[in-house]
Amino acid sequence: MTANPNSKGPSKNSVVLEVRGVSKTFYSTLGATVRALQDVNLAVHNSDFVTLVGATGCGKTTLLNLIAGLDAPDEGNLRLSDGLRFGDNIAYVFQHYTLFPWRTALGNVAFALQMRGIPRHRRKPKASELLYKVGLAGFENIYPHELSGGMRQRAAIAQALAMQPKLLLMDEPFGAVDDSTRGELQQMVTELWQENQTTIIFVTHNIDEAIVLGSRIIVFSERPGKIVREFKIDLPRPRNRMTKEFTDLFIQIRQSLSGQLD
């Protein structure tokens, strides 16, 4: 893909990621093999909010790791648009928070700004601004072990946003929190996406969460993971779980996961 030097940025419909015929197999030291992904094809466009849904172990996280460059496919290839690089403008929020325990919430976010080369005098005010955006104003000087699980994930998201990512990968980041906190985090991420229009690929096994968040839902089969169906979501935000449209979509996705649809 060739970037247009006169362009002010990627258009809404431009492709930022292409996954073509990607397969991945893991081999154990005892000789066992696990086929995680099989012939996966996917295009992700600028400002998409793509949710990947499927059973545990179906290869969703494996695909994120391949996109991030943390592993390589056995077959097929992944193409990122010009200028996208992990650790530069691709950020990853893991299922379990990855904060430095010896740094405060502010210090963790400031470290990400330091990695971007932000001057020292600008790091503290910018880190404070990001913590405010994720609802952690007043917790700047608190250490990770003193924060709740939901707060730690908020700090991890602020840390990722400090990278000003064009592509944000999120691997079941709300899986370890209670339902009330999960709802708050879902609302927060939706608002941040609407504000920043960052392209997001979000892994979950929760159908409800996939519908609440996604502009597109990609349904994976059980291992080896294959894409069995895609749903484009045009429900108004914030999504109302009590509507017939939401319920009908939930049922269709569950049927797809159960193999009840052709």
Per-10-residue mean pLDDT for the chain, 262 residues long?
39 86 90 91 96 92 94 94 80 86 96 92 95 95 94 94 93 87 92 93 95 97 94 94 96 85 44
Give the model's pLDDT for residue 18: 96
**Amino acid at the residue 75:** E
- Contact by Cβ (8 Å): 66, 60: no
> 14: which 2 tokens?
């431009």
pLDDT in tens, 71-87: 999 999 999 987 787 76
Q: Greatest CA separation found in the chain? A: 58
Give the model's pLDDT for residue 11: 61
The structure's pTM equals 0.90
- Contact by Cβ (8 Å): 176, 149: yes
Give the model's pLDDT for residue 12: 63
128-167 burial, b at 16+ Cβ within 10 Å, e below that, comes to bebbebbbbeebbeebbeebeebbbbbbbbbbbbbbebbb
Report which of 234, 261, 229, 230 is spatially closest to residue 245, judged by C-alpha positions. 234
Give the model's pLDDT for residue 177: 83
